[in-house]
Amino acid sequence: MRKFINKFKEFQRKEGGATAVEFAFVAVPFTFLLLGIVEISLFFAASNLMHGATSDAARLVKTGQIQQDTSGDPQALFEAAICDHAKVFADCNKIQYEVITMNNFGAFGNYDPSYDENGDLSSQGFNAGGTNDTVLIRTSYLYEFALPFVKQIFGEGSSGKKRIETTIVLQVEPYDLEEEGGTT
């Protein structure tokens, strides 16, 4: 019996497998934490790209390049400007936008975004205005989280998606169509 007690005490002093047991306790939460950090980082990268895409497209409106487009479809040029910048993290077919000409900067409060029952932006159309016009440009994208636990924490509603929305209000710079064509 004495021998058994000595062997038991010797076994208690050994720490050879303690690290493996401790790692087993920590590995699962640590893995979830790392995956969550990656998921949130991807969301912020997508958000940053959407803001940059909206800014790039807004610059085309501000400088009159959209209004002076000779291809006949300024809306397609605007869509291409957004998609070229955001296509790394966003499905271009799911990016929603509206371009609205306003009376002045003070009218911004009259143009709150509205959404349908599916969460899609109810666009008020595409009107890039003309020289010296005040224009509101709004893009909206529903980012879908991949990890279920991140969807529950950061997602909006039962869809598990989070809206990325950018609104820019600007005044179109003066431009002259005839001067651009060199006919003056």
The model's pLDDT over 69-102, given as tens digits with 9 standing for 90+, comes to: 887 889 999 999 999 988 888 899 999 999 999 9
Residue 52 C-alpha from the chain's centroid: 10
Give me the phi and psi of 101, to 5 degrees please.
-85, 130
Local structure of 134: helix, strand or coil: strand
Q: Are 111 and 102 in contact (CB under 8 A)?
A: yes
Q: Are 66 and 157 in contact (CB under 8 A)?
A: no
Token readout for 60 is 């085309």
**Which helix or strand (DSSP H or E) is residue 161 part of?**
strand 161-171
Q: Are 163 and 141 in contact (CB under 8 A)?
A: yes
Give me the phi and psi of 145, to 5 degrees please.
-75, 145
CA-based radius of gyration for the chain: 28
pTM for the whole structure: 0.78
Report whether pLDDT(46) > 70: yes
For residue 86, the one-letter residue type is: A
Residues 6+ positions from 95 with CB-CB distance below 8 Å: 50, 53, 82, 83, 86, 139, 140, 141
pLDDT tens per residue across span 22-32:
778 888 999 99
| Higher-scoring residue by pLDDT: 150, 183 | 150
Give me the phi and psi of 164, to 5 degrees please.
-110, 115
**What is d(CA 170, CA 126) in angstroms, rounded to the nearest whole number?**
15
Q: Are 113 and 121 in contact (CB under 8 A)?
A: yes
Residue 183: the pLDDT is: 45
pLDDT tens per residue across span 136-178:
999 999 999 999 989 988 988 778 899 999 999 999 999 875 5
Give me the phi and psi of 100, to 5 degrees please.
-125, 135
Number of H helices, E strands in the chain: 5, 3
